[in-house]
């Protein structure tokens, strides 16, 4: 007999094969393609095989479609469970982005589900969570599926969204729970919305060991786990770690993860395998298409509403050059942030290399694909020394090889982190990339004067960065003096309402030597 454990993770509202940059594009992604693969595996499995399906979190936030459901058409929220019920998931896991619009919103999106939401390391009275684990019985075999969610959510999330919720260490929870489950179940599967903090081969740390990702420690310190499904990092992983099969099926529905456990007549595991199924060549699931095509078309029509226009050019033709020399689009985003918070220093990031920027006419499509996160803003009071430290962290994004500037390896592996390189407006600064990391900021001025180490500055950041995330420990929530609780998509749209025509200007406040 075989147990096949199928998973999707970090779908982020990408149902159709589009990233929404154009109304008619076709990309190798999407839940509807993933569903076809899940159905194909089910239909082609032997009669005595058990196929288990896991939705591993970050499902209801992250795309123009999810924004539309959250902000424009509340009735669309019912579609989340209609789709997952139709796919027939056995269990669901909460991701960190499930909390971005608050618990009431999460509860509304998750109602009418036909499967349990599992979270063993979360303490709450909310009905959003059904149980810490689920036991499935199949031909006399008992299989336990345990759900975990990254404990790091309080470091990112608006405290009002998680009031009364406690997020415990996955490893510490598992050390207590897994031995107990071993007495009840023959097979234990862990589904974890979190990833790996160490290299899967060398076991060397690949990030600061904050507890955000505990997958490596989990498999090192907690015996009794037979399979591990992960997510959160948007990585494509199918391998064995410490002899345990693990998967992480990318993001946006680009892959379906599959772990296969083959058992003998005595229900002992005799063979294990982990693989990823690319969705690129798969067809759309016709049942899901019938359910959701009208909503998808509504979103596409809504996205084409023009918000304003640009005189000049804010198109991101070369992301690396934009990061090296600043860019009119990035300067515009910083100006929107400054206007909203009434400051004159702001930082932002070019979140990924697919950000299109703005052409002559700016539609909601352009805004939502250029600024894809539901970030709100915070103003912090920091010292000049802390401002310099933040710039040094940003400067570590670059490496110089044979006279050519490239992205430092730490920002590409084990996961791509372009969003952790910030560019500022309102200060004048310079990097010398010939200098060692940590000593690259050779100029820092505010209003034409050198910034002194103890000088106080008010700086606008998105809430993620303001909490110190992305290795920016000089920022922290206790330094916040005020916040704007309107997400950036709305702030950008509102700015265009007040300023229908924007002049694109190439900023000159930032230079790089190498």
Structure token digits, residue 144: 């336990």
Does residue 249 surpass a pLDDT of 90?
yes
The predicted model scores a pTM of: 0.93
Number of domains observed in the structure of the chain: 2
Give the domain extent around 318.
Answer: 306-513
Mean pLDDT of 122-147: 97
pLDDT at 293: 98
DSSP conformation letters of 433-495: TTSPTTS-EEEEEETTEEPPTT-EEEEEEEHHHHTTTTT-TT--GGGEEEEE-S-HHHHHHHH
With cut-offs at 50, 70 and 90, classify the pLDDT of residue 320. very high
With cut-offs at 50, 70 and 90, classify the pLDDT of residue 24. confident
Same domain assignment for residues 336 and 279: no
pLDDT digits (tens, 9 = 90+) for 334-371: 999 999 999 999 999 999 999 999 999 999 999 999 99
Report the CATH number at residue 274.
Answer: 3.60.21.10
Given 274, 300, 326, which residue is the final one in a domain?
300
> Within 13-90, where are the H helices?
31-43, 64-71, 79-87
Does residue 307 surpass a pLDDT of 90?
yes
Residue of 94, 273, 277, 261 whose CA lies nearest to 188: 261
pLDDT at 375: 92
Alpha-carbon separation of residue 27 from 6, 145, 221, 231, 357 (angstroms):
22, 32, 40, 21, 19
pLDDT at 55: 99
pLDDT digits (tens, 9 = 90+) for 5-21: 999 999 999 999 999 99
> In the chain, pLDDT over 70 holds for what percent of residues?
100
Mean pLDDT of 317-343: 98
Structure token digits, residue 283: 């067809």
Phi-psi region of 267 (alpha: psi -120 to 50; beta: other; left: phi over 0): left
Structure token digits, residue 342: 């009434």
Mean pLDDT of 446-466: 98
pLDDT at 43: 97
User: Mean pLDDT in the chain?
Assistant: 97
pLDDT digits (tens, 9 = 90+) for 59-101: 999 999 999 999 999 999 999 999 999 999 999 999 999 999 9
* 306-311 and 314-315 beta bridge pairing: unpaired
Structure token digits, residue 135: 């036991």
With cut-offs at 50, 70 and 90, classify the pLDDT of residue 310. very high
Does residue 459 surpass a pLDDT of 90?
yes
Same domain assignment for residues 130 and 194: yes
Same domain assignment for residues 323 and 293: no
Alpha-carbon separation of residue 286 from 23, 42, 52, 212 (angstroms):
20, 16, 22, 37
Same domain assignment for residues 275 and 326: no
pLDDT at 60: 98
Same domain assignment for residues 186 and 43: yes
Same domain assignment for residues 296 and 156: yes
Distance (Å, whole) CA 95 – CA 232: 7
DSSP 159: G
pLDDT at 513: 95
pLDDT at 492: 98
Distance (Å, whole) CA 333 – CA 493: 11
Same domain assignment for residues 378 and 292: no
Mean pLDDT of 122-142: 97
Same domain assignment for residues 236 and 330: no
Cβ proximity of 502 and 332 under 8 Å: yes
Same domain assignment for residues 108 and 166: yes
pLDDT digits (tens, 9 = 90+) for 255-294: 999 999 999 999 999 999 999 999 999 999 999 999 999 9
Same domain assignment for residues 242 and 369: no
Residue of 257, 234, 232 whose CA lies nearest to 246: 257
Alpha-carbon separation of residue 239 from 99, 143, 272 (angstroms):
30, 21, 10
pLDDT at 214: 99
Residue of 404, 321, 367 whose CA lies nearest to 494: 367
Given 300, 327, 342, which residue is the final one in a domain?
300
Does residue 374 surpass a pLDDT of 90?
no
Cβ proximity of 127 and 107 under 8 Å: yes
Specify the residue for token string 């902000």. 71
Residue of 239, 253, 245, 174 whose CA lies nearest to 3: 245
Same domain assignment for residues 427 and 332: yes
Distance (Å, whole) CA 312 – CA 192: 46
Mean pLDDT of 218-242: 98
Same domain assignment for residues 357 and 492: yes
Three-state SS sequence of 192-240: EECCCCECCCCCCECCCCCCCCCHHHHHHHCCCCCEEECCCCCCEEEEE
pLDDT digits (tens, 9 = 90+) for 173-183: 999 999 999 99
Alpha-carbon separation of residue 391 from 344, 347, 467, 509, 512 (angstroms):
17, 10, 16, 13, 12
- Please, which residues have CB within 8 angstroms of residue 466's CB and are 6 or more apart in sequence? 378, 380, 475, 476, 477, 479, 480
Report the CATH number at residue 362.
Answer: 3.90.780.10
pLDDT at 34: 99
Given 300, 322, 342, which residue is the final one in a domain?
300
The helix/strand/coil state of 144 is strand
pLDDT at 453: 98
Upper half-sphere CA count for residue 185 (Cβ side, 13 Å): 24
């Amino acid at each position: 007999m075989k147990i096949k454990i199928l998973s999707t993770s970090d779908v982020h509202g990408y149902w159709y094969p589009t990233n929404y940059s154009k109304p008619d594009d076709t990309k190798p992604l999407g839940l509807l393609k993933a569903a076809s693969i899940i159905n194909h595996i089910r239909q082609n499995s032997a009669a005595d095989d058990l196929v288990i399906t896991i939705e591993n979190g970050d499902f209801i936030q992250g795309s123009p479609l999810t924004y539309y459901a959250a902000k424009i058409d509340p009735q669309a929220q019912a579609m989340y469970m209609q789709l997952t019920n139709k796919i027939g998931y056995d269990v669901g896991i909460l991701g960190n982005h499930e909390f971005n619009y608050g618990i009431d919103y999460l509860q509304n999106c998750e109602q009418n589900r036909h499967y349990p939401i599992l979270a063993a390391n979360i303490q709450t009275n909310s009905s959003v969570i059904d149980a810490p684990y689920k036991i499935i019985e199949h031909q006399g075999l008992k299989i336990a599926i345990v759900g975990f969610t990254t404990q790091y959510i309080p470091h990112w999330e608006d405290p009002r969204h998680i009031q009364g919720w406690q997020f415990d260490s996955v490893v510490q929870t598992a050390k207590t729970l897994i031995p107990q489950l071993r007495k009840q179940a023959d097979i234990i599967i862990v589904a974890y919305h979190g990833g790996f903090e160490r290299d899967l081969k060398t076991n060397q740390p690949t990030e600061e060991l904050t507890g955000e990702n505990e997958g490596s420690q989990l498999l090192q310190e907690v015996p009794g786990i037979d399979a591990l499904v992960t997510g959160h990092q948007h990585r494509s992983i199918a391998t064995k770690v410490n002899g345990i099969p693990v998967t992480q099926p990318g993001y946006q529905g680009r892959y379906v993860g599959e772990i296969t456990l083959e058992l003998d007549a005595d229900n002992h595991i005799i063979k294990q395998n982990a693989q990823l199924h690319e969705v690129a060549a798969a067809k759309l699931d016709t049942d899901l298409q019938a359910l959701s095509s009208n909503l998808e078309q509504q979103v596409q029509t809504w996205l084409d509403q023009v918000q304003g226009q640009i005189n000049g050019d804010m198109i991101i033709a070369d992301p690396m050059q934009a990061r090296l020399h600043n860019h009119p689009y990035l300067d515009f985003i910083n100006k929107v942030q400054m206007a909203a918070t009434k400051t004159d220093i702001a930082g932002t990031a070019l979140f990924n290399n697919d950000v299109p920027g703005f052409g002559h006419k700016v539609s909601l499509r352009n805004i939502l694909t250029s600024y894809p996160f539901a970030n709100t803003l915070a103003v912090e009071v920091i010292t000049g020394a802390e401002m310099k430290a933040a710039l040094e962290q940003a400067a570590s994004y670059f490496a110089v090889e044979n006279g050519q500037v490239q992205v430092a390896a730490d920002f590409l592996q084990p996961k791509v982190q372009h969003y952790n390189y910030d560019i500022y407006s309102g200060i004048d600064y310079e990097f010398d990339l010939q200098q060692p990391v940590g000593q690259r900021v050779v100029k820092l001025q505010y209003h034409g004067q050198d910034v002194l180490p103890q000088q106080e500055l008010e700086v606008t950041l998105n809430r993620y960065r303001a909490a110190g995330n992305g290795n920016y420990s000089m920022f922290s929530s206790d330094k916040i003096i005020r916040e704007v609780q309107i997400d950036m998509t709305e702030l950008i749209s509102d700015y265009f309402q007040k300023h229908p025509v924007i002049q694109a200007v190439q900023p000159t406040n930032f230079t790089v030597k190498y």
